[in-house]
């Protein structure tokens, strides 16, 4: 059986991820692009491309095989010697040639065996290309035949990784079917095929449908590759939707037409006045000198610039994933081109689905731009919760900016009015109403906003109009922690987790809620940076009692449970089952085979992703049952 790719996530931002995966000739760090190498003509040297950021390359095994000299060299010395690169090399199969010329002289089995023979790290089957204008029937034939060709590859090859292209034209049901079939096969690498015509015609909104329906129905443990998707203006959007790897010959194709790539599009050399400082041509040529080069030298120079533009964009994307600001980057970049903006609006139609893969909160400040931001996953998550609370409450007290400042409800008499009233208090936040108790949770307080432009019609309530009792009817701090718990763990959990006798302590430095105690035992701390809970073992026990299995749980082997109980992290390969509704970045209960609590920690990925991975850390444990009692530092 073919080896599974050792694919390990190193960072994530929703579906976007940085990762490492091993090939027979080295590790590839994603997201990245594989520059296309024409074995007959190499416009740029390998060293030049590596210096710009290339870690791996893709070349065409069909072209190599049908050229006698290239075939003999490749069979004798290997494709790595032929290309002059000792790192990972992927080979395509000749599918495009087969599509254009109706047939190729080699069978699927022959071309895969040839790729294996010449030492390709990732070998592609001879799939059936499907055009965007194919009928559903014709596209389904391509899906079925491609899977059939994958199935005919003998099991047991261990020196190459099979790439199983996801086909299906523009039909979402067929992309779903193809992704599921290829994920269930021996393919260890999943390229999305048949998209180049869409890329060439700026049909990015259709590409959004294709990528989402391919990605969400594919195995999350296998890299997803977008064939031909190398233009820098679409890279960030594709990565946001879960693409890990790209390939492209666009750096040469655009150069051949005297066109230069930039992060927001392409520009004709004749209309360029100066070179950007990041360009490898800066300081070596003036624009005038580039124009005066002979055709071959000009193509080489512009190819160097174009490839630098691609890797420069990928570097920015990787940093955005680390900072967890990729959505913000895509949202701003979408305004650079009408077709990109059209595609971004299509992404927003999938927000409810994409929300399942977004972390509980982000490292970064939440940017609010306009009414389109209302449709993003975090705002929709908050709106759904707030609407539920409002719809199940009596007449609310609605506070405007004149009454409220984030994190300081005690000012201007708000806390006193709240505690002496039995009416629910809501805040006007952007274009919606939210419970006052969530005023410090992400993204309510952690926001930079251009201002809402569709304020709810409800009039704000003056505190003088609020009927108050002479005695205290409720405790704002207790209600706050309960509401946050409901938002973080599910409706009804807050009251079970924090009963009436719960005690709340505040930070000496900030005055904000810090620790929540019951009978002298610390249940949880409230994080300053996002306003959510980190549970102690005692708090985890209460959450477990409040929620039936498998909610908020990952179950591990008993051998793993012994180590997790000592505070060691949970690895994917030791998880036997889990709650699929787990939110990435949220608290999870680690239990053994008997559903006994052994640790509590933070999930690295969503519950829907956990079951796919066999390598890396799944839960970062912050407390095991065998560790000592938890306390809050005196400095707080």
Active site (catalytic) residues: 92
Q: Which residues contact 254 (CB under 8 A, 6 or more apart)?
A: 260, 261, 266, 302, 306
Tokens matching residue 152: 């005919």
* Ordered alpha helix ranges (H), 409-557: 414-419, 476-489, 493-497, 537-546
Which residues make beta-bridge pairs with 245?
32, 225
590: closest CA among 609, 616, 567, 608? 567
Short-list 544, 538, 560, CA closest to 618? 560
Classify strands 366-368 and 447-449 as parallel, antiparallel or unpaired. Answer: parallel
* Rg of the chain (C-alpha set): 28
| Burial per residue of 395-413, b for 16 or more beta-carbon CB atoms within 10 angstroms, e otherwise | ebbbbeeebbeebebeeee
Q: Phi-psi region for residue 461, left (φ > 0), alpha (ψ -120 to 50) or beta?
A: beta
**CA–CA dist 497, 493 (Å, integer):** 6
Angle between helices 326-333 and 232-240 (to 10 degrees): 140
Place of tokens 């000009």: 298
Indicate the pairing of strand 575-578 with strand 553-556. Answer: antiparallel
Residues 6+ apart with CB under 8 A from 446: 361, 365, 366, 529, 530, 531
Q: Largest Cα–Cα distance of the chain, in whole Å?
A: 96
* Alpha carbon distance 143, 325 (integer Å): 36
As a whole number of angstroms, the distance between CA 577 and CA 288 comes to 64
Helix or strand or coil: residue 247?
strand
Cα angle at 525 between 522 and 531, to 5 degrees?
A: 155
Instruction: Round to whole Å and give the CA distance between 571 and 617.
Output: 4
Q: Please list, in sequence order, all residues whose beta carbon lies within 8 angstroms of the beta carbon of residue 134, skipping any fewer than 6 positions away.
A: 142, 169
Q: 106, 65 in Cβ contact below 8 A?
A: yes
CB burial class (10 A; 0-12, 13-18, 19+) of residue 220?
buried
Report the C-alpha gap between 67 and 78 in whole angstroms.
Answer: 15
Cβ neighbors of 404 (< 8 A, separation 6 or more) are 412, 414, 427, 436, 439
């Amino acid at each position: 059986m073919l080896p599974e790719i050792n694919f390990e996530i190193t960072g994530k931002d929703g579906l976007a991820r940085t990762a490492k995966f091993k090939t027979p000739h080295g590790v590839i760090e994603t997201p990245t692009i594989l520059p296309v190498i024409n074995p007959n003509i190499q416009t740029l040297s390998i060293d030049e491309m590596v210096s710009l950021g290339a870690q791996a390359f893709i070349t065409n095994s069909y072209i190599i095989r049908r050229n006698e000299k290239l075939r003999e060299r490749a069979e004798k010395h290997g494709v790595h010697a032929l290309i002059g690169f000792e790192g990972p090399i992927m080979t395509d199969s000749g599918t495009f040639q087969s599509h254009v010329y109706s047939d190729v002289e080699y069978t699927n089995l022959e071309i895969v065996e040839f790729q294996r023979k010449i030492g390709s790290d990732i070998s592609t089957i001879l799939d059936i290309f499907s055009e965007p204008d194919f009928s559903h029937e014709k596209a389904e034939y391509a899906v079925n035949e491609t899977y059939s060709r994958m199935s005919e590859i003998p099991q047991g090859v261990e020196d190459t990784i099979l790439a199983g292209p996801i086909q299906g034209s523009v039909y979402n049901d067929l992309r779903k079917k193809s992704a599921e079939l290829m994920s269930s096969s021996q393919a260890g690498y999943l390229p999305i095929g048949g998209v180049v015509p869409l890329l060439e015609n700026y049909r990015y909104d259709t590409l959004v449908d294709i990528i989402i329906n391919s990605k969400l129905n594919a195995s999350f443990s296998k890299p997803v590759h977008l064939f031909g998707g190398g233009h820098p203006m679409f890279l960030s959007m594709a990565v946001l939707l879960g693409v890990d790897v790209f390939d492209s010959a666009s750096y040469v194709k655009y150069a051949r037409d005297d066109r230069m790539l930039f992060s927001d599009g392409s520009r004709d050399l004749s209309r360029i006045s100066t070179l950007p400082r990041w360009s490898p041509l800066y300081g070596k040529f003036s624009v005038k000198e580039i124009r005066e080069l002979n055709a071959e030298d000009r193509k080489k120079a512009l190819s160097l610039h174009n490839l630098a533009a691609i890797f420069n964009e990928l570097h920015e994307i990787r940093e955005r994933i680390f900072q967890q600001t990729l959505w913000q980057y895509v949202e701003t970049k979408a305004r650079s081109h009408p077709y990109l903006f059209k595609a971004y609006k299509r992404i927003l139609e999938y927000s409810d689905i994409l929300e399942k893969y977004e972390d509980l909160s982000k490292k970064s400040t939440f940017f609010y731009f306009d009414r389109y931001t209302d449709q993003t996953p975090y705002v929709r998550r908050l709106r759904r919760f707030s609407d539920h609370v409002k719809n199940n409450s009596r007449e609310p007290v609605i506070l405007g900016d004149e009454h409220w400042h984030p994190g300081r409800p005690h000012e201007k008499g708000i806390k006193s009015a709240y505690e002496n009233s039995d009416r629910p208090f809501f805040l006007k936040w952007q274009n919606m109403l939210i419970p006052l108790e969530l005023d410090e949770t992400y993204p309510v307080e952690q926001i930079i906003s251009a201002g809402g432009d569709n304020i709810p019609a409800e009039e704000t309530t003056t505190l003088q109009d609020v009927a108050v009792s002479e005695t205290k009817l409720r405790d704002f701090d207790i209600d706050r922690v309960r509401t946050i718990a409901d938002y973080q763990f599910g409706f009804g959990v807050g009251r079970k987790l924090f009963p009436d006798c719960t005690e709340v302590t505040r930070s000496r430095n900030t005055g904000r809620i810090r620790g929540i105690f019951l009978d002298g035992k610390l249940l949880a701390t409230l994080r300053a940076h996002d306003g959510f809970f980190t549970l102690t073992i005692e708090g985890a026990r209460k959450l477990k009692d409040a929620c039936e299995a498998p909610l908020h749980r990952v179950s591990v082997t008993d051998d793993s449970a012994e180590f997790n109980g000592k505070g060691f992290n949970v690895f994917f390969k030791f998880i036997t089952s889990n709650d699929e509704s787990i939110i990435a970045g949220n608290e999870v209960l680690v239990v053994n085979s008997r559903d006994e609590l052994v640790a509590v920690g933070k999930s690295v990925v969503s519950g829907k992703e956990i079951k796919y991975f066999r390598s890396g850390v799944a839960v970062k444990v912050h407390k095991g049952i065998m560790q000592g009692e938890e306390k809050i530092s005196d400095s707080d």
